[in-house]
Amino acid sequence: MDVAVDDQAVSEIFRVLDLTGVLANAVLGGVIARRERLDPIGFVVLATLTGLGGGLIRDTLLQAGPPVALTDPTYLLTALAGAAIAYVVRVEGRAWDGTWPVVDAVALGCWASVGAQRTLDVGLGWLPAILLGTITATGGGLVRDVVLRRVPGILGGGTLYATSAIAAAGTQVTATAVGYPVAGSLVALAVGAGLVLLARRRGWMLPD
Amino acid sequence: MDVAVDDQAVSEIFRVLDLTGVLANAVLGGVIARRERLDPIGFVVLATLTGLGGGLIRDTLLQAGPPVALTDPTYLLTALAGAAIAYVVRVEGRAWDGTWPVVDAVALGCWASVGAQRTLDVGLGWLPAILLGTITATGGGLVRDVVLRRVPGILGGGTLYATSAIAAAGTQVTATAVGYPVAGSLVALAVGAGLVLLARRRGWMLPD
Amino acid sequence: MDVAVDDQAVSEIFRVLDLTGVLANAVLGGVIARRERLDPIGFVVLATLTGLGGGLIRDTLLQAGPPVALTDPTYLLTALAGAAIAYVVRVEGRAWDGTWPVVDAVALGCWASVGAQRTLDVGLGWLPAILLGTITATGGGLVRDVVLRRVPGILGGGTLYATSAIAAAGTQVTATAVGYPVAGSLVALAVGAGLVLLARRRGWMLPD
């Protein structure tokens, strides 16, 4: 038991971080839609795919009921809000360039942790938990890139993005195995987010 | 209650329209396969994706049992018939050019309405119902375009295709909310099909 | 009843062939990753998609619980082993060129047979069984090609690959219909693998 941690508070924190990640990634989808000169539907498609795609793939593979993104309306509304923001505001410049990487890193750690835990909760093992944690964190970007006919960033050339998700999901799995799922999720989040930021700052990449 | 409308008759009409849409879209998939000089397997793949893809994605996300396209053999047989027609007959010329837009518009309205209602029947809310209605109507073409490495038409540049699906699904959701799901489905169909045809005729598009 | 065949032994044989197919296809995914100069994550992504993609799509569509690739850890471990082999060893030269086509052909027959039978076991009909048998055998390669932005091989130009899967799945369905599912799976495997090898050797292709 996680006696040292307030479970309810951590769960609340993760929900906020999760939705912040959806919003930020939906805005990113919209920013890409603007760059590609798409119409409003294009904004919605890219924002939804980027913000919710990873979770949708995870929940579809888990087969434990309809995806959270469909049962909890907050997710879809948040993704649509992201699309609207990117459509109305020209999201660029220093504020975005300074904020986005941090929000993105936190979202990655949060999603990897949540995805791994949800897989364990359904009764699957540690290996699928790491896989689905990683898919939760990176799947949306992958699908968006495929739809846009780009080489998906996850295939290489980036700075430890998937690797950080694997590390975060692995931390979550380990923490749950030793009996501290809730406290562990905070550590997993920190590991994932920290590694993404460090790798980006220092240009760390995997060797070919 | 829909006292003014014969539920059974409407349900029968929708099944016919639904399958007509599958056939027409499967033929379209086959026409594209011919243009790309694919072999018979290519015809079947593109016909199946175009005719059944949207419903398959919807049912996979809903997680309420295997997709209708797999449990009701009529769907697969219809899609295969479409592939066969496009393979044997050179589907082109005035008859096709005159018929296709109308059949396509009716299919869009029908699929959006059916997809939205099915989502509501599973117990999900109005927002996922509109999303899945739209995916039912446009998902097959999206997947086909991605497999063919084209920029999916839904991302922009078309004439209110996804917008019409959203309008039809929204009409269905509204009609069900006020207690007229069956009569409403006829209105939703008319809204979706009418908007597609109007937009195509007048060249209406969304602004960038 | 299959009185003439030892069910347990056949089931054991199929498991070994199935996993051999996963390994060989995962190695192929890794070989492609090396050719594209991807980093280790790229190896894992392509190996997993190629080795497990078809089964994942099948199980997701069947909606009869989480995919086997997630519930049985042997599958994921085998796919990762394939990625690791392709990363460490330069898999090329005569040994690979001689072995790969045979292993690939056996995997195709095995996957088509297993996929068709699993669909029947869930209670679906012969047509979806043939479709999902074919998807099991060819879906991984299709998804991998789409992610890599290649024209999927299944769309045409190849030598009876999907056709052989259809033949194997059809054999399995027929054998089950006449009451010999287990003995039939050996025939289905032989039909699928034999046809792939024959077609490759003789350059058989479908007409446009």
DSSP per-residue string spanning B35-49? HTT--HHHHHHHHHH
Give the per-residue pLDDT at C154.
Answer: 81
Alpha helices, DSSP H, located in chain A: 7-35, 40-62, 68-71, 73-88, 93-121, 126-147, 161-177, 181-202
Task: Among B70, B76, B147, select the one facing C152 at the smallest CB separation.
Answer: B147
- B162/A38 CB distance under 8 A: no
Cβ distance C160 to C199 under 8 Å? yes
Q: Give the angle A162-A163-A165 at the CA atoms, nearest 5°.
A: 65
pLDDT in tens, C75-129: 999 999 999 999 998 877 787 888 888 988 999 999 999 999 999 999 999 999 9
When pLDDT is cut at 50, 70 and 90, the band that residue B97 belongs to is confident
- The b/e string for C136-151 (b: 16+ C-beta within 10 A; e otherwise) is bbbbbbbbbbbbbeeb
Contact call for residues A33 and A42 (beta carbons, < 8 A): yes
Chain C's closest residue to A207, CA to CA, is C39
Which amino acid does the sequence have at A160? Answer: L
Report d(CA B55, CA B68) in Å as an integer.
8
Among A57, A119, A131, the residue to mutate for chain C (most C Cβ within 10 A): A131
Q: What are the tens digits of pLDDT across the range C144-186?
A: 999 988 888 888 767 788 999 999 999 999 999 999 999 999 9
CA gap A52, C171 in Å, rounded: 41
- The 8-class DSSP code of residue B150 comes to P
Q: What is the mean pLDDT of residues B87-111?
A: 87
Distance CA C153, CA A158 (A): 28
* Closest B-chain CA to A78: B127
Which chain A residue lies closest to C41 (C-alpha atoms)?
A155
Closest residue by Cα to residue C146 from A150, A92, B117, B74: A150
Tell me which chain A residues have a C-beta less than 8 angstroms from the C-beta of C146.
Answer: 146
For chain C, state the CA radius of gyration. 16
Which of A57, A122, A155 is best to mutate for the C interface (most C CBs within 10 A)?
A155
The better pLDDT of the pair A150, A119 is held by: A119
**CA–CA separation, C80 and C40 (whole Å):** 11
The rounded distance, in Å, linking the Cα atoms of C11 and C123 is 20
Cα of C50 to nearest chain A Cα, Å = 14
Burial of B123 (0-12, 13-18, 19+ CB in 10 A): exposed
- Are the C-beta atoms of residues A116 and A188 closer than 8 Å to each other? yes
Contact list in B for residue A142 (CB cut-off 8 A) is: none
Q: What is the average pLDDT across A152-181?
A: 90
Cα of B134 vs its chain's centroid, Å: 9
Measured in degrees and rounded to the nearest 5, phi and psi for residue B122 equal -75, -10
Under a CB-based contact definition with an 8 Å cutoff, are residues B117 and B186 in contact? no
Residues of C with CB under 8 A from a CB of A: 33, 36-42, 45-46, 48, 56, 60, 63, 65-67, 70-71, 73, 76-77, 146-149
Out of B122, B125, B206, closest to residue A39 by CB: B206
Residue among C40, C76, C149 minimizing CB distance to A128 = C76
* Cα separation, A126 vs A128, whole angstroms: 6
Which tens digits make up the pLDDT trace of C124-141?
Answer: 999 999 999 999 999 999
Report CA B129 to chain centroid distance, whole Å. Answer: 15
CA distance B82 to B24: 7
pLDDT for C11-22, tens place per residue?
888 888 899 989
Of residues A48, A66, A147, nearest to B124 (C-beta): A66
Q: Which of C63, C146, C208 lies at the smallest CB-CB distance from B66?
A: C63
CB contact at 8 A, A42 and A140: no
How far C200 CA lies from chain B's nearest CA (Å)?
Answer: 16
Highest mean pLDDT among A49-53, B97-101, B158-162 belongs to A49-53
List C-alpha distances in Å: A140 to A152, B60, B159, C72: 10, 17, 27, 25
The closest of B67, B41, B48, B115 to C124, measured between CA atoms, is B67
Interface confidence (ipTM) of the complex: 0.91
How many A-C residue pairs are in contact by the CB < 8 A criterion? 67
Residue given tokens 């942790």 in the structure block: A113
What is the token pair recorded at C126?
Answer: 């012969």
Closest residue by Cα to residue A176 from A131, A106, A129, A111? A129
- C-beta atoms of B60 and C62 within 8 A: no
Distance CA A134, CA A116 (A): 8
Between residues A96 and A106, which one has the greater pLDDT? Answer: A106
Is residue A119 over pLDDT 90?
yes
Classify residue B55 by burial, with Cβ atoms within 10 Å: 0-12, 13-18, 19+: buried
Cross-chain CB nearest to B205 (options A39, A67, A73): A39
Model confidence at B126, in pLDDT bands (50, 70, 90)?
A: very high
Confidence check: pLDDT of B72 > 50: yes
Single-letter residue type at B148: L
Q: Are C83 and C44 in contact (CB under 8 A)?
A: yes
The residue behind tokens 């052909």 is C105
What's the confidence (pLDDT) of residue A5? Answer: 65
Q: What average pLDDT score do residues C56-69 get?
A: 94
| Contact between C147 and A149 using a beta-carbon 8 Å cutoff | no
Tokens 């003789």, located at residue: C202
Confidence band, pLDDT 50/70/90 cuts, at residue C198: very high
Residue of C41, C49, C58, C145 to mutate, testing the A interface (most A Cβ within 10 Å of its Cβ): C41
Listed in sequence order, the DSSP H helices in chain C are 7-35, 40-62, 68-71, 73-88, 93-121, 126-147, 161-177, 181-202
CB pairs under 8 A between A and B: 67
Q: Do A70 and B124 lie within an 8 Å CB cutoff?
A: yes
Most C CBs within 10 A among A148, A154, A161, hence the mutation to make, goes to A154
Which residues of chain A have a CB within 8 Å of the CB of B142? 147
Find chain C residues with C-beta within 8 A of A64's C-beta.
66
- 8 Å CB contact of A205 and C39: yes
How far the first Cα of chain A sits from its last, in Å, is 42
Give C162's Cβ-side CA count (13 Å radius): 25
Nearby residues of B64 by Cβ (< 8 Å), 6 or more positions away: A66, B122
Residue at token pair 């049912």: B59
Who among C61, C125, C157 is closest to B67 (CB)?
A: C61
pLDDT bucket at A2, cuts 50 / 70 / 90: very low
**Residues of B in Cβ contact (< 8 Å) with C167:** none
Dump pLDDT digits (tens) for B74-96. 999 999 999 999 999 887 778 78
